[in-house]
Chains A and B, each alone.
Chain A
Amino acid sequence: MKVFEGLKFKRGTTAIHRLDPRTKFLVSCMIFTLALLFTELLSILILFIAQLPLLFSARIYREWSLSLKGSLTLVGIILLSNLIVGYISNNFQLSSQLLTYSISMAFRFVVLMSSFSLFFLTTSPDDLSLALEQSHIPYEFCFAFTTAIRFVPVLAIEAQTIMDAQRSRGLELDKGNFLKRIRNYIPILIPLIVGAIRRSLELAEAMESRAFGAKKKRTNLYRLQLKKSDYLTFLISFCILSLALYIRYNIPIPEFQIPL
């Protein structure tokens, strides 16, 4: 459940927290695009290292590392599946090229995850909702989206409690073969889903009783305004992206390989 720590907004006043959510979303998308543009270990590593100062300056290093720890299994699966598929399609030969490739694929996932961690950890659900509304997305959709995000940590806590309750009834989650282990999660998933549906119905009733949707046109107390720092961030992101595209298509990237 630690992986969800990386999606939980952490209040703060750093420069990154103060950026407009739209700007932050664009930066996250840029990092995302960059990570997809490159496959070489060197470039992925550079991307990874380039993110660290952002994480540090937003003071979300601890939360980010928690979510990183939580996603280690997934990183392992990516690494292994790349290795296995490559191994089989390569006539059952393990090359250092394949190893390097698999590691960079695993690292690519870490980069992707960090970019979204950076966005969600520093953007409050309220700001996110405002940003969506001001991008002319219907309010009902914005509300559904932000509510979903807001409830992720709640669901994570609930999942932990359910796990504890079922373990107290003798359920051993990591027992048995692969299929059995998947089946072991049924007693966790059913109460979790039933609880989520119940909660959503209750939420709907509570919203109805507070006159949700009574007026077609909603007004907001706050309006998001792009600042100088936002334009500057746009400019820098654009430059980095252009530079990266130029390098990608015109300059060969040195391939260093991890020896077997």
Chain B
Amino acid sequence: MSVIKEYWHKLSSAKHFYPIAGALLPWFIIPALLMLAWGSWQGLVVAPADYQQGDSYRIIFVHVPAAWLSMMAYMVMAINGAIYLVWKIKLADIVAESAAPIGASFTFLALATGSLWGKPMWGTWWVWDARLTSELVLLFLYLGTIALRGAIDDRQRAGRAAGLLGLIGAINVPIIHFSVEWWETLHQPATVSKFSAPSMHPSMLIPLLVMALGFTLFFFAVLMIKIRAGILEQERHSRWLSALYAEAPETTATYSAEGNLAAMDESNE
């Protein structure tokens, strides 16, 4: 028990998570890129055209994963915000802060691709449909937490305030999910979740799932990079960090802004 506790404690400290995040990064980024490449090729070239929508449907290979990720990133942000609020683990705050802009980007991507698809399909860039509207609300929720964080100078207070706001906004995420059933709308009901009788042919479904997994891994890869940057910023005066870079400056210099600055100074001389 105490071993698990100690391990957990280590994992939640910035000092120990910094190298872990660095080690995990290639495990996320390489499969992510491979999957995105294979999924895009399968989805955009190999999969057959839809008998109703022609080639336009192919945007779902980007649209649907982006929409999923927009919600998952929000959950990551909200849960980490809540952890910071309750247990005051600094790392959770860094994770929450890092997840917000990535999630906002995915939300924007989902909205933009959906609108690009809507123009030829529905004949309009935008309709006031429940899921579209909820996704737009989600974007505003992201922007709200980012803005609130930016408006409070004290780092600790900003983190707790954004955490509470994210928690309140999290109530909105299930509403997005169930809004399809709640309101009668134009939007297609979810095509993928019906596993008992999938309405998608495997030649389309498999690339979509691969793309979704690739997007997820890509999200975690970017999250790791941002977490490392966040740790560097927060712990920039700490002793372990300077010790870490004093030990092996040539291997790690490329990862840190400070390392780059040092390298630049050297080259100037």
A, B: real partners? no
A: residues with CB less than 8 A from B are: none
